[in-house]
Structure 1
Amino acid sequence: MRGLTVLGTCGAWPEAGRSASGFLLEYDGFRLVLDLGYATFPRLLEHCPGGRVDAVVITHEHPDHCADLSALCRARYFAADRGAQVPPPRIPLYCPPGVIGRVQAMEPTEDLAEVFGIHPLPPTPSSHRVGPLRLDTEPLPHHVPHAGVRLTAPGLTLAYSGDAGPDPALARLAAGADLFIAGATLQGASAEGDDPHLMRAAEAGASAARAGAARLLLTHFWPGDDRSRSTAEARGTFPGEVIAATEDLVLTFPPADAG
């Protein structure tokens, strides 16, 4: 399978029945997690029993994007197969350094480095080989150090803005993407005094248009907001397909209706 499963869609905190930011990308049997915010881990377990994943990428240290990394750590730390004669390899984890400090503070006895092979993402563009995927990261504006993500492999180009504000780098990050996952925390027209560290739905659409992305998946909705309004605003600036992320949604590569 080559597809993306939505684990969570809320910014800040999860609404009832939903989760905060999180995605599972599956590519020919390789399973990579993008962000693990509040309440995403139980959903991940439905697809990856025991938390058996092949890699994790966390965009930044805010808990609505990384809190359930602690749950994944515990599940793997106490897993029966860690006591085997040949224990499983550590899970590659790519994240800004602040993520480790934030999550380790919730783990006073279990060292994250025993479960994860940690690869700090620098405050500059970087490239990594992650299984069959190429991971490129780009620093993006936010309240804390933040990495935008681009994942490529034959037949797949996926970009993820995380919770970043609008920035010209998004056009490079999502250039020609089959799918651009963009945080759309805010609604309405931009105005003087806007927080430059958060993105509006219309700005997400404009970034996708500049990048020439094929599809736009909006996420990181503010709890209680009307998501149909965000979708409508993004459609006003992006001519391609706009999708409002919802928990357990699965998107395939190529799209299931292609051809």
Structure 2
Amino acid sequence: MEDLEPVYVKLGGSFITHKDKPFSINFKALEKTLLILGRAKKFTTIVAGNGGGSFAHPVVKQWIMHDLSDLIKYCQNATRKLNHIIVDYLVNHGVDAVSIQTSAIIVHSSKEYKVFIEPVRYALRQGLIPVLYGECIYSETRGYDILSTEQVFGVIARYIKPKRIVLLTDVKGVYTCDPRKYTKCKVIDEITKNNLEIVLRSIASSADRDVTGSIYSKVKYMAEISSSLKTDVYVVSGFDVEDSISAILGKKPRTGTVIRTYE
């Protein structure tokens, strides 16, 4: 494992796109992303990844019961389009970012993921921000595997350990319930091994599912990553530039959730 010490930053699908409008970009979120990455890059190396949002999820739902080649073809086409829109925007506005196709460097085998990590390493060494994304990847056993951005981070972290992980979302952190549905939900400041099960139970009943899993499964997975890598995972609103930069630099945001399950 090489000690490049990047911060992993996810641009959540619900942040970067309008999830209720297929194939729609949230340009306000793109503007915030530009400010966040442009400023944070001056102080730390970054590996970014974007979720599929309104590009991937409708396509997967439409084609998952059809021919396997159609699913892979349309899924990869949709996720690639979104990633290229994001990276093109960043590059055109002065951020040194490059697109790295997830399915070209990660393949699912019968026992583990096979990873060709060199493109990510070389990009970091050149001072670039590699931008990966959640995607339909190839699988030796079932033909395909749907890999979320969180899972992409979990896989490549075996080769390049992150300093910390930051998830930029459309809400201010992990809530006690779904803030889009209920008004009395509160942001959970910290998730530890002591309160993890209580937190998971509190969000389980109100969590909606998308094709890569519910907020329940994502929090559970990030708690496992925090524990295994002994690293902090921050969940903050990408619309709050200052909180996002604070989280990337390892400082406590004004509002947000830190998942710290290794202590």
TM-score normalised according to structure 2 size: 0.35
More strand per residue: 1
Which has the higher relative contact order, 1 or 2, with Cα contacts under 8 A spaced 6 or more apart? 2
More helix per residue: 2
TM-score normalised according to structure 1 size: 0.35
